[in-house]
Structures are given as C-alpha cells and as structure tokens.
Amino acid sequence: MAALDEIRSAALKRIAEAGKLDALNDIRVNVLGKKGELTQLMKNLKDMTPEERPKFGQLVNSAREEIEQKLAEARDMIAKRERELALAQEVIDVTLPAKKANIGHPHPNSLALQEVERVFVGMGYEVVEGPEVEYDMYNFEKLNIPANHPAKDEQDTFYINKDILLRTQTSSVQARVMEKGKLPIRIIAPGRVFRSDEVDATHSPSFNQIEGLVVDKNITFADLKGTLAEIAKQLFGEETKVKFRPHHFPFTEPSAEVDVSCFKCGGKGCRFCKGSGWIEILGCGMVHPHVLEMCGIDPEEYTGFAFGLGLERISLLKYEIDDMRLLYENDIRFLKQF
C-alpha cells in the first residue's frame, strides 16, 4: 500500500511538472505501460490473501484512473499552449504580395505526340499500345527478320534472354494487331523503344517511335503517298512537299525513306536543312506479303502500308532544337520555353 501511494504521488508530481507532450508520454509508459510501475505492483496480488486482493486491485485501478485523467488534462493544456504559441509566432502579413504558383505544362515530346495523335485520329486511325518488354518473335521474326538476319546486328538490341528483349521498334505492336485478324486495320502505335546507342546530339539508348499501319483490300502505294503528304502538311504547314527515296526494310516491299521540304527556308537551303532544302523525316513501305502471311492475313486478298517516325525527331524539327539530349536533361530553363 505504501508503494502504491508512493507511485501515485510521484506520477502526479511529474505530470504537474511536465512541460511537453513527449514528457507526458514517457510518464504514461513508465507508470501505466506493460512494464510500468503499476503493472509490476499488480504482481504482488499472488502473495496476498483472498480477502486483501479485491481491495488492493480496486485501489490500483483507482490510482490508474486518476493518473490517466491527470495525463489527459495535462496533454490538453500543453497542446493548447503550444497551439497558441505557434499562432502568435506565425502571424501572416496580409499586405505582402501573394506567392506565385508555378504551374507545370506538357513536355515538348508530349506536345508533339498530342499533335501527331490529333492528326491521325482525325484521319480515322486508332491509337494502340504494346509491351516494352517484348518477345523476339514479335520484334523480329513476324516482321520478316529471322534468326541470324543482319538487321538484328544493325539495331544493337538489349536482350534479357534469347527469347525476350527490350523492343527496338514499335512495329512489334503492328504484328500483334495483325495477328488478331480484325480487319480492316488503321492504327498508329506510339511508344518507347530501346537500342544500344551512344548518347549524343542525335542518338539515345531510349527514345520514342510512332508506327503507322493500314491493312485493307486494294491498298496501294498511292494511298501511302497521299497519307504521308497530308500528314506532312498538317504537321509542318500547307506548303510542305514530300519526296520519296527508294530504300530497304525487311518488313516492307517496296520501301522508301521520306523527306519533307524545309519549312524554315521553303526548300531554298539553309542551316536547318544543311543547304539541301529537304529534311529526312521517316521510313515507310508496303507491308511485305510474307509479314501478312505470318500474321494470318491472306496477302492475295489484303494489302497494306506501314511507316515509322521518331517522336524526338518531330520535336527537334517543330521546335528547332539542335540537341536531343536537351529533351531528357530536365533543365527548367529549357523546358520553360515550351
């Protein structure tokens, strides 16, 4: 009983002297916790007679309730005092000018992609996506690039194992869409691709491509030329002209690279087009019959065309940016210009 009275008196005194919430918490743990003084005192019940135990237990509970009540009162009082002190120190001068809110905006790549998607959706295309970690079968084999094909070496692929890789082109999405067999097809597939390139002003190991694909009956190269001519005008101005140069891609036949007339000098020749009057913009061609066949489409009944352009290249041209690395360095001074 003397020990109980001593614990109670000491606890109440410490509560009265406590000036911070942390001190009150320490008192609660030391006196009322699982290993606290009152809990330890209850272990003496086993040494008492049956007549003494109820009375002693009642006294311990009464002391616990009193301590808990004093703790709650002291906690409220200290919290109120600290709140009043904070309010007194945090005076707001309403005559000062307000802080300007810095609101972000889309990245140059995002702006370019939004414009490209707007143009294609307006022409009846659907925007589709595919996995960045891809099977070799979709990234190469179904695109007419079998094992040991030289094109595999040209693209410097990041392999995870012999069958899985980081896609080198979003053409893999085209293979997946054609495989589903829902015809006709009119899609674009924007997305990030990966190649083992050195970082410089025009190359990066991770960049973005936009692939386009149309598959239907009676699709010709004239449809491809008309489509790309319209896209060039929509992106770079009504006066823009296109020029097709023969090229080779494993998954298209015939294939071509497309140049657009320099929208800076109107084709006269300037620093932007390196004096040629033309700027290379994308690669394209008619979908190879073998690619259609491997994806389950009858090449005797259906034809199609495909094209691919780099999103960063569109951004560099549209916004007259000289170095691709600026798009990824997150320099606020650069990004604020857009």
Asked which of 59, 89, 119 is the last residue of a domain, the reply is: 89
CA gap 223, 211 in Å, rounded? 16
* Shared domain check, 269 and 185: yes
Let me know: does 330 contact 107? Beta carbons within 8 Å.
Answer: no
* pLDDT (0 to 100) of residue 288: 94
Report yes or no on 261 lying in a domain: yes
* Shared domain check, 143 and 13: no
Report yes or no on 149 lying in a domain: yes
Instruction: Describe the chain by its helix, strand, coil percentages, rounded to 5.
Output: 45, 20, 35
* Shared domain check, 154 and 85: no
Sheet holding 303-310, edge to edge: 126-127, 185-194, 206-216, 303-310, 278-287, 252-261, 242-249
Amino acid at 241: K
Asked which of 89, 121, 148 is the last residue of a domain, the reply is: 89
Distance of CA 179 to the CA centre of its chain: 28
CA gap 126, 124 in Å, rounded? 7
* Shared domain check, 302 and 270: yes
Report yes or no on 98 lying in a domain: no
Residue with tokens 């702006």: 111
Residue 40 has which token pair?
A: 């330890």
* pLDDT (0 to 100) of residue 330: 87
* Shared domain check, 259 and 188: yes
* pLDDT (0 to 100) of residue 29: 80
* pLDDT (0 to 100) of residue 151: 62
Report yes or no on 63 lying in a domain: yes
Residue 128 has which token pair?
A: 């589709």
Return the closest-CA partner of residue 173 out of 224, 132, 116: 132
CA gap 158, 165 in Å, rounded? 6
Q: What angle do CA 215, 221, 222 make, to 5 degrees?
A: 110
* Shared domain check, 122 and 68: no
CA gap 47, 44 in Å, rounded? 6
* Shared domain check, 283 and 143: yes
Return the closest-CA partner of residue 129 out of 51, 216, 190, 206: 190
* Shared domain check, 202 and 327: yes
Amino acid at 75: R
Report yes or no on 99 lying in a domain: no
Asked which of 60, 89, 118 is the last residue of a domain, the reply is: 89
Q: Which tens digits make up the pLDDT trace of 124-144?
A: 999 999 999 999 999 998 998
Mean pLDDT, each 10-residue run in order, the chain (338 residues): 77 79 80 75 73 75 80 85 82 81 87 92 93 92 82 74 90 92 92 87 86 94 94 87 91 92 77 81 93 92 93 86 87 87
Report yes or no on 97 lying in a domain: no
* pLDDT (0 to 100) of residue 28: 78
Please name every residue paired with 165 in a beta bridge, in sequence order, or none if there are none. 134, 159
* Shared domain check, 127 and 255: yes
Report yes or no on 103 lying in a domain: no
The number of distinct structural domains making up the chain is 2
* Shared domain check, 295 and 149: yes
Return the closest-CA partner of residue 240 out of 282, 271, 211, 278: 278
CA gap 263, 244 in Å, rounded? 17
* pLDDT (0 to 100) of residue 93: 77
CA gap 139, 173 in Å, rounded? 8
Distance of CA 120 to the CA centre of its chain: 23
* pLDDT (0 to 100) of residue 292: 93
Assign residue 138 the CATH number of its domain. Answer: 3.30.930.10
Measured CA distances, 127 to 119, 211, 233 (Å): 11, 10, 20
* Shared domain check, 83 and 128: no
CA gap 313, 338 in Å, rounded? 16
Per the structure, the complete domain to which residue 160 belongs is given by: 108-335
* Shared domain check, 203 and 324: yes
